Each structure stands twice: as C-alpha cells, then as structure tokens.
A = this chain, B = another copy of it.
C-alpha cells in the first residue's frame, strides 16, 4: 500500500497528519512523548491499531533521552510515560494493550539493566509495528472470502491503512478482494463530525482504484431500503469478551439498519482490539469530545452560539447485531462468548 501511516525514523515517530488529508499530505515528526500524546489526542494519528503502535513508539520517545544507569529512576520514568500515554484517549483498547505489552517487557526482564531494557523495549515496539502489518494482511485475506462479484459494500469512518501501520482492517478486506480481482463497489459513510470517511477512506480507496461512492451517514438507510447494500464491514475500537463492539459513532446505527434490512454486518479487528477482561460493552468507556467538532467547520460556526451539544466519539454495537468478526485467525461467529474464548485462549 505504501501509505506509511506511522514509522520510526531517526529517533522520532513520523506520522502522516491525518487532520490535513485529503487537501495536504504532511508528516509530523514526534520527537518527544508530549508531542505524541497530542498527536493521539488531536487525531493526527487515529484508528485503534495505529494508536496502539503510536503508544509503543511514544514509550520509546519518553525513555530515549534518559541518561545514566539508575534503574529506579529509569523505571519511574518508564511507568510515568506509560501512564501519561494512557490518558490520551479512553476507548480504543489497543492503546492500553500495547502499553501493557511494553510494561510486560520490563516485568519479564527483572534483571536487565537500563541499556538492556532500552534495547528490549525498542525491539518490542518494532515487533508491534511489524505484527500490525502482518495481522492486517491476514484479516484482509479472511474477510475477502465474504466478498462476491457484483457486491455493493459499505463502511464507516476509516478502518484502512491510515488506521493501522498499513493496509487496514475493514479496508484491508477490500484491498485483499481487489488483489483477487473481485469486482465490487464501496459506499463510504462520510462519518460526522470529523469526516474520516470522506477525507480518509475515500482518499485511500480512490488511490487504490476501488469503485467508491461517498454518502452522508444519514443516507445509508435509504440505500439499504433500496437493496443497494449487500454487506457492511467496519473496524472496531474495543471488543468485549461477549462480542459487544465499540466503534466510531454511527456504527450502531448501521448495525440496526443492517438487521432491519437483512444485510450481513461484519466487524474486522485484530486480537489487540479485544478486551477479554470485560464482560460486555457496558464496561467500555466512551469518549465524549468537544462541542466545537459539531458546531464549527474550519472555524466557521454552523450552529447558533451556546446550543448544547452531545458529541460521543463512539457507540457500542451489541453482539447480537453482528454477523461475524473477522480476525487474523479467521472469522468468529456466534455464540461469541464461547467462540471468542476458544479463538484466543491458546494464543
């Protein structure tokens, strides 16, 4: 795909500034953890898997300037860095899972000195980076089996190369299907308020010459009512052990509409997006973002001053509305509690 959403370059984390796409393609070089925290917070880097990698790189940024051999001081800095990064966004569990993976390096190597830990943490971050790419391709290949010639697919937000290191989750399914020469088209919901569908997904899909049509989120129902949507694929920010799935606001809407119209509804997400410590979606914290995302565009007011705003960034789709969850290990189908456990318990 050669999008390179996030990459470790010369002791910095280089990210594509996704707030500027599609009008400008610019890189941001995060050289300290604070810059990375803000990059995650402001959605310059976004998408659950990409946030996970960004967090791992953020840890490297936090510790790389540490001088000396005082392990206590180093560990204090390390844990402080992890805790700080964990406050950037609340919903995508990849952030916490990858920070835990980094913490695991320290915990699994109690005898390592500062230099050794630095090397091991660097190695772990690069492994997280690399695995993300492999995992995306495996998800894409499993999901592509669901796409038949002539299908009209639909997706929301951006679960593509820009949401991962490369390739993507839901969009990875389209890329794999394209490689298999399948003929299909994609409706991209624009995804208010920040228009990740219009700005990012349409940018990605048209670059890859996939037949793409942009719609407003409120048009998806009309399309389904006319029989023009054959299958839906979305990404995920956190999946509970019972299959309840938090994803971009509007995903639950699509799932209810899909149910009403008999359209298959698939989530595409890697193991790192599952939170097996929680029983259901009720335990997933939902980020609420500032009102200005809804009331303004490019600095111009689109609503009267002072109106109240409700702006949750995510919603939770109950497992019963989900046809299947495409993972790197294959497609998990109901009953989810049992099948999610069985898929991951040995891995």
Chain A interface (Cβ within 8 Å of chain B)? 22-23, 156, 187, 189-193, 195, 198-199, 202-203, 206, 211-223, 225, 249-250, 252-253, 256-257, 259-260, 294-295, 297-298, 300-304, 306-312, 315-316
Given A23-B300, A298-B298, 14 other A-B residues pairs in contact with their CB atoms under 8 A: A22-B303, A22-B304, A190-B302, A192-B218, A199-B302, A202-B307, A203-B303, A203-B304, A216-B250, A221-B252, A222-B252, A225-B252, A225-B315, A253-B257
Q: Which 9 A-B pairs have the closest CB atoms?
A: A218-B250, A221-B253, A217-B218, A192-B216, A222-B315, A198-B303, A22-B304, A213-B308, A202-B307
Q: Given A190-B192, A304-B206, are A310 and B214 neighbors across the interface (CB < 8 Å)?
A: yes
Pairwise interchain contact B307-A214, C-beta atoms closer than 8 A:
yes
Query: In the docked arrangement, what's the CA distance between A222 and B294, Å?
Result: 16
Pairwise interchain contact A253-B214, C-beta atoms closer than 8 A:
no
Q: Name 19 interchain pairs, CB-CB below 8 A, sorted by A.
A: A156-B218, A191-B218, A192-B217, A214-B303, A214-B307, A214-B309, A214-B310, A215-B294, A215-B310, A216-B217, A216-B250, A217-B218, A219-B315, A221-B253, A221-B256, A221-B315, A225-B315, A256-B257, A298-B300
Pairwise interchain contact A303-B217, C-beta atoms closer than 8 A:
no
Residues of B within 8 A of A221 (CB): 250, 252-253, 256, 315
CB distance from A140 to the nearest CB of B (A): 22
Closest chain B residue, CB of each to CB of A203: B304
Residues of B within 8 A of A212 (CB): 307-308
Residues of B within 8 A of A225 (CB): 252, 315-316
* A-side interface mostly: mixed
Closest chain B residue, CB of each to CB of A286: B222
Query: In the docked arrangement, what's the CA distance between A193 and B190, Å?
Result: 10
Residues of B within 8 A of A203 (CB): 303-304
Residues of B within 8 A of A206 (CB): 304, 306-307
Pairwise interchain contact A187-B218, C-beta atoms closer than 8 A:
no
Query: In the docked arrangement, what's the CA distance between A325 and B243, Å?
Result: 39
Residues of B within 8 A of A22 (CB): 301, 303-304
Closest chain B residue, CB of each to CB of A195: B302
Pairwise interchain contact A304-B202, C-beta atoms closer than 8 A:
yes
Closest chain B residue, CB of each to CB of A308: B213
Interface residue from B250, B260, B294 paired with A190 (Cβ < 8 Å): B294
Residues of B within 8 A of A253 (CB): 218, 220-222, 253, 257
Query: In the docked arrangement, what's the CA distance between A215 and B217, Å?
Result: 13
Pairwise interchain contact A303-B193, C-beta atoms closer than 8 A:
no
Pairwise interchain contact A202-B310, C-beta atoms closer than 8 A:
no
Residues of B within 8 A of A301 (CB): 22-23
Query: In the docked arrangement, what's the CA distance between A221 and B252, Å?
Result: 7
Pairwise interchain contact A219-B298, C-beta atoms closer than 8 A:
no
Query: In the docked arrangement, what's the CA distance between A195 and B303, Å?
Result: 9
Pairwise interchain contact B312-A219, C-beta atoms closer than 8 A:
yes
Residues of B within 8 A of A219 (CB): 249-250, 310-312, 315
